[in-house]
């Protein structure tokens, strides 16, 4: 256990700067949220509009993937520094996830 966390007192200028930076980050998060809502709306309207299955399914899967990437990289801060090991854990899991789905589906379709 680390015993000596340094206490650093910011100067007023530094403090104002970092507060402003955080506010800006928060505005970006709200933009991200807006994009996510928009993607969800497109998915639901595409299905409600009754387009061809072969068009809808790839499109809504792509929109879901984009939304999850936004959620992971912005809401869950993976775009920030110090997340290399996190990315390693997550991408290993995603590879396993695809293997599972491929395996189960091929068992059913070709079994």
Partner 1 sequence: MDFNKKYTPQTWPDHPEQVTLEGKNKFLGFWLFLGGETVLFASLFATYLALKNKGPSGMEFSTDTLFELPLVFIMTMILLTSSLTSVYAMYHMKNHNFRGMQTWLAITVLLGFAFLGLEIYEFNHYVHLGFTYGQSAFSSSFFTLVGTHGLHVVIGLGWIILLMLRNAKRGFSLYNAPKYYTASLYWHFIDVVWVFIFTVVYLMGVVG
Residues forming the site for partner 1 (CB under 8 A)? 1-5, 7-10, 15, 18-19, 22, 25-26, 29-30, 33, 36-37, 40, 43-44, 47-48, 53, 56-57, 60-61, 63-64, 67-68, 71-72, 75-76, 82, 85-86, 89-90, 92-94, 96-98, 100-101, 103-105, 107-108
Distance CA 73, CA 54 (A): 29
Compute the Cα dihedral for 91, 78, 66, 68 and give only its sign. positive
Task: Tell the smallest beta-carbon distance from residue 87 to partner 1 (Å).
Answer: 9
Task: Tell the smallest beta-carbon distance from residue 63 to partner 1 (Å).
Answer: 8
From residue 64, give the alpha-carbon distance in Å to each of 26, 35, 84, 94: 23, 12, 23, 14
User: 59 CB contacts (<8 Å, ≥6 apart)?
Assistant: 43, 46
Task: Tell the smallest beta-carbon distance from residue 79 to partner 1 (Å).
Answer: 13
């Amino acid at each position: 256990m680390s015993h000596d966390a340094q206490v650093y007192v910011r100067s007023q200028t530094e403090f104002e700067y970092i507060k402003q930076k955080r506010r800006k980050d928060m505005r970006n998060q709200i933009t991200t949220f807006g994009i996510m809502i928009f993607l969800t709306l497109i998915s639901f309207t595409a299905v409600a509009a009754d387009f061809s299955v072969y068009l809808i399914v790839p499109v809504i899967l792509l929109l879901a993937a984009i939304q999850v990437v936004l959620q992971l990289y912005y809401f869950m801060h993976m775009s920030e520094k110090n997340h290399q090991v996190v990315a390693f854990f997550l991408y290993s899991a995603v590879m396993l996830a695809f293997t599972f789905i491929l395996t189960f589906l091929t068992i059913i379709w070709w079994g």
